[in-house]
Amino acid sequence: MSSEQAALQQGWYLLKAKHREEVRAQDNLEHQGFEAYCPLILEKSTRVPLFPGYLFIHLDKDALPSFHKIRSTRGIAQVVRFNKISQKLYNEGRLPEKDMGKLLPRPIPDGEQLIDQIEAFVWKYNGRIPDEKPDSVSFKEGESVLYNNPLFRHLESTFVKGVKMDRGIILIQFIESQRTDEGIEEKIVARKEIEVPLKDLQKVPEES
């Protein structure tokens, strides 16, 4: 991990998207394993961004090492920084060396609460009651699911629970195969819970 990544804080960050590429940027970020959120509202039967030109990304300890990938993701223009004063001092050569860390992007203050409020507003605006969670009821706890993501689609996944209306928690198992005298032996070497969009999940067909 670089010194920049080590100094970054966990939380929700604001991203500037390229012109009319907010949704595309979200999809590209999610395909890389990031948790991204572009609030969409219904206008004349069409979903449009609540904040044109912007979207959010959540960085936890597992995502921080991949921070450098964000700026090169298709659809992303830049990470929004809330440090204009520090940037001005740096440009003028008046920022002390000990304060160089202030040039790094910072998470949105009270980001979790803000995202929850935005999400509740979006659901009410679109005419849906926030506590209904209609998408999550199609998946049952402990059910085997497939996650349509290039990084995880080949791994065994289990649905844990639905959260945040259109998102859910899945448990991914990393399995290592070894050849033995008796054949192929599979061993679980790691487990990880991640939050994913429910639209990217599908049930594993039951064997007849």
Q: What domains are defined for the chain?
A: 3-125 (3.30.70.940), 136-203 (2.30.30)
Q: How many CA atoms lie within 13 A of 138 on its CB side?
A: 13
Cβ(130)–Cβ(165) below 8 Å: yes
Residue 134: per-residue pLDDT:
47
pLDDT digits (tens, 9 = 90+) for 97-145: 665 555 578 889 888 888 888 988 888 888 765 544 445 457 888 889 8
Exposed/middle/buried for residue 197 (C-beta within 10 Å: 0-12, 13-18, 19+):
buried
Order of strands, edge to edge, in the sheet holding 144-147?
183-197, 167-180, 156-163, 144-147, 201-203
**What is the token pair recorded at 18?**
């390229």
Percentage of the chain surpassing pLDDT 90?
A: 26
**What is the token pair recorded at 161?**
């629970």
For 150-170, the DSSP string reads TTTTTSEEEEEEEETTTEEEE
Cβ(87)–Cβ(54) below 8 Å: no
pLDDT digits (tens, 9 = 90+) for 56-113: 999 988 888 889 899 899 999 998 876 665 555 556 576 566 655 555 788 898 888 8
Residue 206: per-residue pLDDT:
67
Q: How confident is the model at residue 207 (pLDDT cuts 50, 70, 90)?
A: low
Q: How confident is the model at residue 1 (pLDDT cuts 50, 70, 90)?
A: very low
Residue 132: per-residue pLDDT:
46
CA geometry: angle at 119 spanning 113 and 124, to 5°?
Answer: 130
CA distance 79 to 19: 15
Residue 52: per-residue pLDDT:
96
